[in-house]
Amino acid sequence: MIGKPTNSNSVFLRAFHYIKDNFIIGYSLVLLLLVPAVFFANNFWVNNKYAEVIDGVTRKKAILVEDVLNNIVYEKFSNTAELQSLVKGIVAEDEEIISLSILEPIEGQEAWNIVVSSDESLVGKTKEENDLIYFARVNPEGATYLDENRSGRFWKIIKTVSGGEPKKNVGLMEMSLSLGESDTAINETIDKSYWVMALIILVLVLLQANQIRLLEYALSLNELKQVDKMKDMFISMASHELRSPLTAIKGFLDLLKEKKNLNLDSESAHYLEVISISSDRLGHLVDDILDVSRLEGNRFPMEVSVFDPDPLIKQSVEESRSTAIQKGLALEYLAPAAPVMIKADVSRFKQVVVNLIGNALKYTDKGSVKVSTAVKKDDFMVIVADTGIGISSEEQANLFQKFYRVKNDRTRDIIGTGLGLWITMETVKRMKGKITVESIEGVGSHFTVHLPLGKK
């Protein structure tokens, strides 16, 4: 029976498909492998070339040292004691020379006697002739080869000791020159390169992890945008679908109100008025939801032009007067002394003024609501002042947030969604203006809209 795939296989398959579907991640993984590999290969090649150069320089140095010593050793060849002292001194002064021996041929034999050596235990011992010694005797440059022991690598140089006229070979000089310093330097460089490579891998892994996280954020953001787009489409569709029956309801209500022969009793008339008020509230709610959707989706139509705001403010005040009369409030408008031109969207400007006046009337039980204008430098200001319940300093900080409403005993029965001031603020911002509030709890509030002046 074939079993289910293990969790590890499942994780591997998910990772494989994730990389396959996201080219950038796969590309980054290739770089994660390729960059360290190229770095390692480059260091390996450079270090090998460096070692070759150092080995060559050290070999030439060893040959040169033997060439220099040749004349000295030739002159002192017969004085073994003095020659032994010279060899020990050379080895003691130069740490790179790890051994130095002088050999003389044994007459009638293919062997050599060690007459002088930096290692005194070798003095007097016999060394059979081998291929290297033979090559050194017949080759003017001697025999040179690279050898290694537990102490490290070294150059072994065997060269004839010769001199006089005619030139005569009297013996052999055998020297070992250490490569310890150069090998140490190379190994340190290699170790450092490994650390650098590990650091590069770590940085690439962190970049890869960050890139994956950013990609996940991008995918999440894209999904959120899709959800937000679907939400906007749904809100827009729902709002339009709600508007159609609302329009019919309001139309029939208006027809009923205009008929004089209905002879409705007081209770039926009350019901008709409640229906009318509720339909108006629902209509305002649908408009607010549509405006929120358009503002959030950056689909808020705006046609900025230069115009005189005075007629629009007067019209807004008159449209709100019936509400003020019903609540027994005084609604005043102090017109500007001289004509002023502003730069804004005509319909949106009126919407802002209507919203502020309506808001002031809603939260004012007695007293008055005054609308006035002022000009300060390049700002045109519309001030809506009321004698309502006021707003505390703590609540003012959140006043223009979406769905926020002042909550206290006096606002409990006041109906609202908390969208009006947010829509007003966003609308004013899109007209290159701002809105401010000054309020004292229990005294009243002053809302001020600042908009840029326009040229006539």
195's tokens: 């650390």
pTM: 0.49
Calculate mean pLDDT across residues 76-93.
Answer: 87
Q: Domain ranges in the chain?
A: 28-178, 186-277, 302-452
Contact 444/450 with Cβ under 8 angstroms? no
Torsions phi, psi for 418 (to 5 deg): 80, 15
pLDDT of residue 39: 75
231 token code pair: 């939400």
pLDDT, mean over the chain: 81
CATH classification code of 28-178 = 3.30.450.20
Is residue 50 scored above 90 in pLDDT? Answer: no
- 3 pLDDT exceeds 60? no
**pLDDT beyond 80 at 409:** no
Q: Please determine, for residue 76, whether its predicted confidence score (pLDDT) is greater than 90.
A: no
Q: Could you tell me the pLDDT band of residue 434, with boundaries at 50, 70 and 90?
A: very high
Cβ neighbors of 227 (< 8 A, separation 6 or more) are none
Greatest mean pLDDT among 69-73, 84-88, 189-193, 382-386: 382-386
Residue 240's pLDDT is what? 67
Confidence of residue 2 (pLDDT cuts 50, 70, 90): very low
Question: Which of 104-113, 246-255, 274-283, 408-417 has the highest average model confidence (pLDDT)?
Answer: 104-113
- Which is higher by pLDDT, 126 or 270? 126
Query: What architecture (CATH level 2) is domain 302-452?
Result: 2-Layer Sandwich (3.30)
Could you tell me the pLDDT band of residue 245, with boundaries at 50, 70 and 90? confident
Question: Is 259's pLDDT higher than 80?
Answer: no
CA separation for the pair 409, 246 (Å, rounded): 32
- 360 pLDDT above the threshold of 60: yes
How far is it, in rounded angstroms, from Cα 170 to Cα 49? 39
Annotate 134-162 with b (16+ C-beta within 10 A) or e (fewer).
eebbeeeebbbeeeeeeeebbbbbbbbbb
Query: Residue 251 — very low, low, confident or very high, per pLDDT cuts 50/70/90?
Result: confident
Tokens, residue 327: 């609540």
Residue of 281 and 130 predicted with greater confidence: 130
Amino acid identity for residue 401 in this structure: Q
Chain length of the chain: 456
Mean pLDDT of 192-208: 79
How do residues 265-305 score in pLDDT, each as one tens digit? 778 778 877 887 777 777 777 777 777 777 776 777 788 89
Average pLDDT over residues 19-25: 61
What percent of the chain is modeled with pLDDT above 90? 18
Contact 416, 424 (CB under 8 A): no
pLDDT surpassing 90 at residue 181: no
- Alpha-carbon distance of 400 to 248, in angstroms, equals 34
Interhelix angle 180-258/266-296, rounded to 10 degrees, is 150
Q: What pLDDT, on a 0 to 100 scale, did the predictor assign at position 1?
A: 41
